[in-house]
Structures are given as C-alpha cells and as structure tokens.
Amino acid sequence: MRILMIGAHGTIGSAVAADLAQRHDVVRAGRSRGDVRVDLTDYASVREMYAQVGPLDAVVTTAGELHFGPLAQTTPEQFAYGLQSKLMGQVNAVLAGQSLLRDGGSFTLTSGIVGEEQIRDGSNAATVNSALEGFVRAAATELLRGVRINIVSPTLVDASAEAYGPYFPGFLPVPLKQVVQAYRRSVEGVQNGRRITVW
Ligand SMILES: NC(=O)c1ccc[n+]([C@@H]2O[C@H](COP(=O)([O-])OP(=O)(O)OC[C@H]3O[C@@H](n4cnc5c(N)ncnc54)[C@H](OP(=O)(O)O)[C@@H]3O)[C@@H](O)[C@H]2O)c1
C-alpha cells in the first residue's frame, strides 16, 4: 500500500511510520519536517499536500494539539486552538482526501482516552476527542467506494509518561508498540467506523 502518515515525526507517528514502512510505501508528512510539509489547520495547505503526494491507499493522522488548563482560566482563544488544531486538522485531512483515496482505501485518525475518562484540566481534550469519535462514526456511513475510517484512542503512552504523566495520576501507561498495532489493525484490517482503544 501507499500510505500518507501525517504527524510522522511525533512520538506516536514516528513509531507508526516505522512499523508500516516495513511492509508499505510510507510518505511522511509533518508541519516542520517530512517528505511533505503541511499545516493541517490550513485547508489550502492540506489540498496542496495531497496534490504533491499523488495516489494513496491510506492516510494516518497522529497530528494535532490541544489546550490543557483549568476551565476557570481558559480563554475562548485557547479553547478554539484545540478545535482548530486536533479536531479540524484531522477533519480537514478527511474532507480533502476522501475523493482522492483509491477504492477500498482507509483513514485512521487519533483521539485519546480523555474522550472517555475525566482528567484534571482536560475539558478541551475531552471535547475534541469526543467530537472526533462522533465524526468517525458518522463519516463511516458516508464514505464512498469502500473507503473505511477508524480512530485510535490511546491512553498515555510510555514514551510520553515523563511529559504528560502528571495529568494522568493512576493511569497505567501503555507501551508505544501496543499503540502501533492499533494503527496497523485499522490500516491493514477490515474494521470500519470503529474506535480502537488502547488502554
Ligand atoms: N502521547 C500520548 O501519550 C498520547 C496519548 C493519547 C492521545 N495522544 C494523541 O496522539 C496524537 C499524537 O501525539 P504525540 O504524543 O505523538 O504528539 P507529538 O509528539 O507532539 O507529535 C505530533 C506531531 O504532529 C505534528 N503537528 C502538530 N500540529 C500540526 C499541524 N497543524 N499540521 C501538521 N502537523 C502538525 C507535529 O509536527 P511538528 O513537530 O513539525 O510541529 C508533530 O510531529 C495527539 O493528537 C495526542 O493528543 C497522545
């Protein structure tokens, strides 16, 4: 398969890209690095990325940022940042790519456990992750030509435990290699419209 990996130089994306590259042709996309550069928050940039990359069988996104902070001090601008970055960024990748994927292709997006479990300072992450999961559930019923869509929802991964551990007291980090297998299941398997949890 020819696979576009967006966020390919991040913690999760670099591990997913390395795994998929063992069996497939992987094109790595990122904001500041990669075979192709893209800003997912800019629809023109997303369209330009697809024009540069050419025919694809699968698109995987592990890109997008959130706002973490106490609700009482959160500004509308901070909240909107997560909506524009992680939510609309991944939705943009589907909107612009849906007619370009080969028949039977697939999208795999990323949400996270905060879409389901409460954590301190997590209102933006909860909103964005839940919205993405709703989007995937609905979009699966509308994508044409056998194109599938799934979303991987990891808990805290071991490789990020030092950075984000304080937000997740009592959450057992999962090995990054286990998260990688969820993306493989989505890309190489038959599931459609599913949230693949890794926790
Ligand atoms: N790490 C965890 O424990 C964990 C757990 C659950 C869910 N998640 C979710 O998984 C996703 C990936 O997490 P991660 O830890 O791998 O993040 P990460 O290391 O920060 O990597 C994210 C990548 O996305 C790229 N990116 C960010 N904004 C972008 C944009 N607007 N356009 C294009 N590329 C953009 C970044 O590129 P640049 O470096 O070039 O800016 C970066 O390489 C996130 O959505 C996160 O919420 C992570």
Count of domains forming the chain:
1
- Contacts of residue 56, defined as CB under 8 A and 6 or more positions apart, other chains included, come to 2, 3, 4, 27, 50, 97, 100, 101, 102, 105
Diameter of the chain measured on Cα atoms: 48
Q: In angstroms, rounded to a whole number, what is the distance separating the alpha carbons of residues 158 and 26? A: 24
pLDDT of residue 116: 98
pLDDT of residue 110: 99
Say if ligand 1 is within 6 A of residue 81 CB: no
Q: What is the CA radius of gyration of the chain?
A: 16
Say if ligand 1 is within 6 A of residue 98 CB: no
pLDDT of residue 157: 98
Mark residue 66 as left, alpha or beta (left: phi above 0; alpha: psi -120 to 50; beta: remaining).
Answer: beta
pLDDT of residue 123: 98
Print the domain residue range for 55. 2-198
Are 61 and 93 a contacting pair, CB within 8 Å? yes
Say if ligand 1 is within 6 A of residue 31 CB: yes
Q: What is the pTM of this model?
A: 0.98
Question: Average per-residue pLDDT in the chain?
Answer: 98
pLDDT of residue 66: 98
Nearest by Cα to 92 from 43, 39, 30 = 43
Task: Summarize pLDDT for 40-85 with one digit per residue, the tens.
Answer: 999 999 999 999 999 999 999 999 999 999 999 999 999 999 999 9
Q: How many CA atoms lie within 13 A of 22 on its CB side?
A: 8
The residue nearest atom 41 of ligand 1, judged by CA position, is 31
Say if ligand 1 is within 6 A of residue 160 CB: yes
CATH code, domain with 103: 3.40.50.720
Task: Summarize pLDDT for 104-162 with one digit per residue, the tens.
Answer: 999 999 999 999 999 999 999 999 999 999 999 999 999 999 999 999 999 999 999 99
